[in-house]
Structure 1
Amino acid sequence: MKRLTRRERLARHQELWLGLLGVVLAFGVCEAVGRAGVVRRSYLPPASEVLARAVELAGDGAFLDGVGATLRAWALGLGLAVAIAVPLGLLLGSVPVVYSAVRMIVEFLRPLPSVALIPLVSLLLGTGTETKVALITYASVWPVLFNTVYGLGETDPLAKDTLRAFGFGRLSVLLRVELPGTAPFIAAGIRVSAAVALILAVATELLSGFGEGLGIFIAQAGLATDGTRDVLAGVVWAGALGLVINGVLVRAERRLFPWTPERRADGRGVRS
């Protein structure tokens, strides 16, 4: 693994401390507003009470089972999205005629909000995990698909021409040059899709009102008397899960593609 320079280490430490400072300031503002009585405590409890409740939920087996159900749907939906989007993106990016033929269909389907499809998918698949997985897959396909197509367009043409000059066929060029060159873009797309998948997992549970999961916990807490604290504690858990997932994927990108710091730092290569 490539060793970081002193300047890179300082930049990362600065980024970390600034992030922690932002969290502390946001926590302090929420705590002050909650205790000042600007908003009724039943609507906005102090941040310390919400955080304490979120920690307390870590010992609740039923709650953790729900979180596990959400994460299983998230992982399965994201995995299916990657399995579909990467080969399809390689096909569309490698064969311009195919991309031109399906471009209108893709551009029609991409803007459709996944949550609007909940009633239709529920009718087709029932009120189980299959519905969540289908919606997560649908929403998560697009960032990976378009990043794959975009990454293929960014591969080094000289390297491809060199292989062709030595008699390598289209498949060899794809496997030896285009796929390795596209891999950082695919990884960035997966990172974006991971966040989208988590949002859809929780949102589908919230809006559909069936099954088990973190979204169901939040929805049920919202219907309870004085349930605001539980709602916000559930939101804290959702945000923490997203933060952990993103951190793991960013670290994996840094290990796998150390030569692309600009892409892994801010995702500027992402096209969604």
Structure 2
Amino acid sequence: MRPIVRNLVGLATFLALWEAVVRSGLVPEADVPRASVVLGRTVEMLGTETFLRDLVATVLAWMIALGVAAAVAVPLGLVLGSLPRVRAATMALVEFLRPIPSVALIPLVLVAIGGGPEAKITLAVYASVWPILYNTIYAFDEIDPLLIDTARASGAGRFGVLTTVALPHSAPFVFTGLRMSAAIALIVVVSTEFIAGANVGIGSFILEAAAGAGRMDLVLAGTLVAGVLGYLANDGLERLGGRLFRWHTATTDSQEV
């Protein structure tokens, strides 16, 4: 079967099992609504202006955060990857900052810049910088020294080696990091909207549905939309990477994983 057919079969099987378990009474419908009910609510929500505004707010914040993260991480990764002394001097700080959960920084960010869109964008940038940064550094470690020696023997200087050898070699690795960061950025944006009580966004919609009348059908419908959005983003980037870097084994390996 084609991959898309397998995905649809797996999704249909999951929804059928969900529907059967709730209908059989193994799980109270008041706690977990039937799959058919959640899908119906999802279709209704996508036809309302209020939810579409929430969806657009989340997508815009996600796109901005991912773009800023790439703009920060790629140049920084190029510097740390090409200058071993700078890398050795800064890795302690990088390893200290990287494990800090973005959610733990929500109170600090709210105090520093407020609870507007800037908060979720800032936290998403912080969380999604690391995969791009490390993939860029890793790409430099994997460059064959023979390629660098050949470029230098041909008269290329430091800048020439960077543009003709390092950047083309690093591009597939950077793109893989970008694809990983896309999922992380979306998770952090929705989580921040939910935890920090944003005025607009999918997370805000889920929070209102859960805190108000306890509408689990709306909570699950909003969660379903976020999941579909993440799947489409990952699938789109994976297909784009497959077209752009078909020649590079790094992309093929990342897709198989």
For normalisation by structure 2, the TM-score amounts to: 0.96
**Matched residue, 1:191:** 179
User: 1:42, 1:226 within 8 Å by CA — same for their partners in 2?
Assistant: no
**Matched residue, 2:95:** 107
Q: Separation in 2 of the partners of 1:246 and 1:81?
A: 17
**Matched residue, 1:5:** none
1:39 aligned to 2:19?
A: no
**Matched residue, 1:227:** 215
1:264–1:148 CA distance, 2 compared to 1 (3 A): same
1:157 aligned to 2:145?
A: yes
Counterparts of residues 88-99 of structure 1 (less than 5 Å): 88-99=76-87
Q: Separation in 2 of the partners of 1:267 and 1:196?
A: 17
User: 1:55: how far off?
Assistant: 1.1
User: 1:217: how far off?
Assistant: 0.2
Which amino acid is the alignment partner of residue 188 of structure 1? T
Counterparts of residues 139-218 of structure 1 (less than 5 Å): 139-218=127-206
User: 1:188: how far off?
Assistant: 0.3
Q: 1:83 aligns with which of 71, 94, 102?
A: 71
Q: 2:59 aligns with which of 57, 67, 71?
A: 71
User: 2:80, 2:86 within 8 Å by CA — same for their partners in 1?
Assistant: yes
Between 117-126 and 224-233, the greater mean CA deviation after superposition? 224-233
- Over the residues paired in the alignment, what is the CA RMSD in angstroms? 1.4
Q: Separation in 1 of the partners of 2:65 and 2:171?
A: 20
List per-residue Cα deviations over 1:112-136 (Å, max 9, x = no partner). Answer: 0001100000000011011111101
Which amino acid is the alignment partner of residue 16 of structure 1? I
Give percent identity, aligned residues only.
47
Q: Separation in 2 of the partners of 1:139 and 1:226?
A: 30
Moved over 6 A (4+): none
User: 1:93, 1:149 within 8 Å by CA — same for their partners in 2?
Assistant: yes
Alignment coverage as a number of residue pairs: 257
1:49 aligned to 2:37?
A: yes
Q: Separation in 1 of the partners of 2:220 and 2:19?
A: 13
User: 1:211: how far off?
Assistant: 2.1
Q: For structure 2, list consecutive stretches of 5 or more residues without a partner in the other structure.
A: none
1:163–1:183 CA distance, 2 compared to 1 (3 A): same
User: 2:176, 2:254 within 8 Å by CA — same for their partners in 1?
Assistant: no
User: 1:226: how far off?
Assistant: 4.2
Q: For structure 1, list consecutive stretches of 5 or more residues without a partner in the other structure.
A: 1-12
Q: Separation in 1 of the partners of 2:253 and 2:155?
A: 37
